[in-house]
Structure 1
Amino acid sequence: MTTAVRIAPAIPAAPAHALVVSDRPPVTSWSLRYFTPWWTATAAEDETPPDTRPPTVDARVDADQTAAVTQLSTADGYTEDTYAGARTLVHRSPGGSVFASQPAQRLAYHVSPDGRRAAVFGQETEPVALAAARLARELVRAQLLREGWVLLHASAVVREGRALLTVGAKGAGKSTVALTLARQGWDLLANDRVFARPDKSGDVQLLPWPAAAALGFGLLDGLGLYDTVRALVLSGEQLHPTQHPQVSRALSAGDRAPQWNEKRNKELKCQFFPDQLVSWLGCTLTTHATAAAVLHPCVSAGPIAPEAEEAAELRASDFFSAATEDRYPDLFRLAAGARPDPASVRERLATLPRRSVALGHHAQANADALARLADTLLKAG
Structure 2
Amino acid sequence: MNAVRITTADGQSVVVVSTTDTVPNWSARYLGGWWTAEPTTEIHGPAVSADLGKAELRDLAAAVERGSPQTMEYAGTDLHVVRDGTTVTAVQDDRALAYRWNADQRILRIVGTDGTTLAAAAARLAREVLRSRLLADGWAILHASAITTDNGSTILTLGDKGAGKTTTALTLARAGWKLLANDRVFARVDDDGVVRVLPWPSAAAFGFGLLDALGLFEVVRTHLVSGERMHPTQHQKVTDALLAGHREPLWTASGKELKPQLWPDQLTSWLSMPLATEGHATGILYPRITAFGEPRLTDSSRGVQDADFFDATTEDRYPDVFHLLPTPGDHTFLRTHLDALPHQGLAMNHDPTANASILKEAASRLSA
TM score, norm. by length of structure 1: 0.91
Cα distance 1:66–1:298, how it changes in 2: closer, same or farther (>3 A)? Answer: farther
Residues 313-328 of structure 1 mapped to structure 2, 5 A cutoff: 313-328=303-318
Cα distance 1:164–1:64, how it changes in 2: closer, same or farther (>3 A)? Answer: same
CA distance in 1, matches of 2:354, 2:62: 56
Is 1:25 equivalent to 2:21 in the alignment? yes
CA distance in 2, matches of 1:104, 1:309: 52
2:267 match:
277
1:252 match:
243
Cα distance 1:299–1:68, how it changes in 2: closer, same or farther (>3 A)? Answer: farther
Deviations along 1:149-207, whole A, 9 cap, x unmatched? Answer: 01111110001211110112332211110000000000111111110000011111000
**Post-superposition shift, 1:327?**
3.6
Is 1:348 equivalent to 2:344 in the alignment? no
1:101 match:
91
1:76 match:
68
**Post-superposition shift, 1:361?**
0.9
For 2:6, the aligned partner's letter is I
Deviations along 1:277-324, whole A, 9 cap, x unmatched? Answer: 100110011110001111122221216324322231111111111221
Cα distance 1:73–1:367, how it changes in 2: closer, same or farther (>3 A)? Answer: farther
Task: Determine what percentage of the aligned residue pairs are the same residue.
Answer: 44
For 1:56, the aligned partner's letter is A
Q: Which moved more, 1:352-361 or 1:341-350?
A: 352-361
Q: The residue matched to 2:312 in structure 1 has which SS?
A: coil
1:200 match:
191
**Post-superposition shift, 1:126?**
1.2
CA distance in 2, matches of 1:329, 1:217: 28
**Post-superposition shift, 1:104?**
4.5
Kindly indicate whether the alpha-carbon contact (under 8 Å) linking 1:70 and 1:100 is maintained by their aligned counterparts in 2.
yes
Deviations along 1:43-67, whole A, 9 cap, x unmatched? Answer: 123x54xxxx210101011112222
Kindly indicate whether the alpha-carbon contact (under 8 Å) linking 1:261 and 1:267 is maintained by their aligned counterparts in 2.
yes
CA distance in 2, matches of 1:245, 1:34: 20
Kindly indicate whether the alpha-carbon contact (under 8 Å) linking 1:59 and 1:132 is maintained by their aligned counterparts in 2.
yes
CA distance in 2, matches of 1:65, 1:100: 13
CA distance in 2, matches of 1:15, 1:5: 15
For 1:18, the aligned partner's letter is V
Cα distance 1:216–1:106, how it changes in 2: closer, same or farther (>3 A)? Answer: same
Spell out structure 1 runs of 4+ moving beyond 4 A: none
Kindly indicate whether the alpha-carbon contact (under 8 Å) linking 1:105 and 1:127 is maintained by their aligned counterparts in 2.
no
Cα distance 1:329–1:303, how it changes in 2: closer, same or farther (>3 A)? Answer: farther
Q: The residue matched to 1:228 in structure 2 has which SS?
A: helix
2:6 match:
7
**Post-superposition shift, 1:7?**
0.7
**Post-superposition shift, 1:115?**
7.1
Cα distance 1:189–1:33, how it changes in 2: closer, same or farther (>3 A)? Answer: same
For 2:241, the aligned partner's letter is A
Q: Which runs of 5+ in 2 are unaligned?
A: none
2:159 match:
168
What value does the CA root-mean-square deviation take over the aligned residues?
1.8
Q: The residue matched to 1:358 in structure 2 has which SS?
A: strand
Deviations along 1:196-228, whole A, 9 cap, x unmatched? Answer: 000011111000111111111111111211111
Cα distance 1:120–1:156, how it changes in 2: closer, same or farther (>3 A)? Answer: same
Deviations along 1:52-98, whole A, 9 cap, x unmatched? Answer: x210101011112222223434541412123xx43241423232321
Residues 134-145 of structure 1 mapped to structure 2, 5 A cutoff: 134-145=124-135
**Post-superposition shift, 1:353?**
1.3
Q: Which runs of 5+ in 1 are unaligned?
A: none
2:35 match:
39
Kindly indicate whether the alpha-carbon contact (under 8 Å) linking 1:304 and 1:362 is maintained by their aligned counterparts in 2.
no
